[in-house]
């Protein structure tokens, strides 16, 4: 995991100034990030000052959906779609 990735995972999974996700700890977020190649570009999107609001929103959605979804369903759905939005996932 790269330095930028560590900062992203720390911030999104809860730190001194942000709340964590319900029943999801830092370890789960780190493990998910490490095993999912699909999520590897997210820190770059968040850290890029030229990223649009929509790009940041979609990147955040991808991470949260992956964090809360069933791994087999997630991989199946993510492989079928290139645009990840909440309405693309029937199991939400």
Residue 31 has pLDDT above 80, yes or no: no
Residue 72 has pLDDT above 70, yes or no: no
Measured between alpha carbons, how far is residue 83 from residues 25, 44, 64 in Å? 27, 17, 15
Q: Where does residue 92 rank: exposed (0-12), middle (13-18), buried (19+ CB within 10 A)?
A: exposed
First to last CA, the chain: 29
Model-wide pTM > 0.85: no
Domain extents in the chain:
3-72
Instruction: Measure the CA–CA gap between 4 and 60, rounded to whole angstroms.
Output: 15
Residue 87 has pLDDT above 70, yes or no: no
């Amino acid at each position: 995991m790269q330095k930028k990735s560590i900062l992203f995972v720390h911030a999104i999974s809860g730190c001194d100034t942000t709340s964590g996700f319900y029943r999801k700890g830092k370890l789960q977020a780190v493990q998910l990030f490490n095993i999912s190649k699909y999520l590897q570009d997210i820190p770059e999107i968040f850290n890029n000052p030229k990223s649009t609001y929509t790009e940041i929103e979609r990147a955040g959605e991808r991470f949260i959906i992956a964090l809360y979804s069933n791994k087999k369903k997630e991989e199946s759905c993510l492989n079928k779609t290139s645009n990840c939005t909440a309405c693309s996932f029937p199991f939400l």
